[in-house]
């Protein structure tokens, strides 16, 4: 099994002006997350406690999906209205990853959410205990 330590830094956001949003961040060794709707923040921050095995699985998935090779920015021509924004900042194994998108995703030629990105989002949700 791979290293079960959390990344040195981790922040992930996905949301838009109308739909639900998720904000996850690592702060002082604690994994905090917040769900919100209608583009705002709920103000309800919850703490998750991933095990070393869960962090190891997350690392394996991130490596398999090639997260370290994602482009810095994904923007679609369809990014004018009803936009889903996302960003990822992660320092893992001495490598800083900063990626963001607006209605565009790694592994997708258009505004459709790619299988690759859906798998990454599912891995993030598993970390906070929100996916099977």
Task: Note down the domain range covering 64.
Answer: 9-127
Burial of 92 (0-12, 13-18, 19+ CB in 10 A): buried
| CA 64 to mean position of chain CA atoms | 15
Q: Is residue 3 part of a domain?
A: no
Q: Is residue 89 part of a domain?
A: yes
Q: Which helix (H) or strand (E) holds 100?
A: strand 95-102
Q: State the pLDDT at residue 1.
A: 41
Q: Is residue 106 part of a domain?
A: yes
Each of the 132 residues of the chain gets a pLDDT tens digit; together they read 457 889 999 999 999 877 788 999 999 889 999 988 765 666 788 999 999 999 999 999 999 999 999 999 998 876 566 788 999 999 988 899 999 999 899 999 878 899 999 999 999 999 999 876
Radius of gyration of the chain (CA): 14
For 23-80, the DSSP string reads EEEEETTEEEEEEESTTS--S--EEE---HHHHHHHHHHHHHTTGGGS-SEEE-TT-S
Q: Is residue 21 part of a domain?
A: yes
* Cα 79 from Cα 64, distance rounded (Å): 28
Q: State the pLDDT at residue 10.
A: 97
* CATH number for the domain that contains residue 40: 3.30.1560.10
Tally the domains of the chain: 1
Beta-carbon count within 10 A of 105 CB: 24
């Amino acid at each position: 099994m791979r290293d079960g330590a959390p990344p040195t830094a981790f922040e992930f956001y996905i949301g838009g002006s109308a739909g639900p949003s998720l904000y996850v961040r690592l702060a002082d060794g604690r994994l905090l997350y917040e769900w919100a709707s209608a583009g705002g923040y709920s103000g309800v921050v919850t703490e998750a406690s991933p095990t070393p095995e869960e962090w190891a699985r997350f690392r394996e998935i991130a490596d398999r999906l090639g997260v370290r090779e994602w482009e810095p920015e994904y923007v679609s021509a369809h990014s004018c209205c009803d936009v889903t924004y996302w960003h990822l900042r992660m320092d893992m194994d001495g490598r800083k990853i900063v990626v963001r998108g607006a209605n565009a995703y790694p592994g997708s030629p258009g505004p459709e959410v790619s299988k690759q990105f859906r798998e990454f989002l599912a891995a993030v949700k598993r970390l906070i205990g929100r996916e099977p």
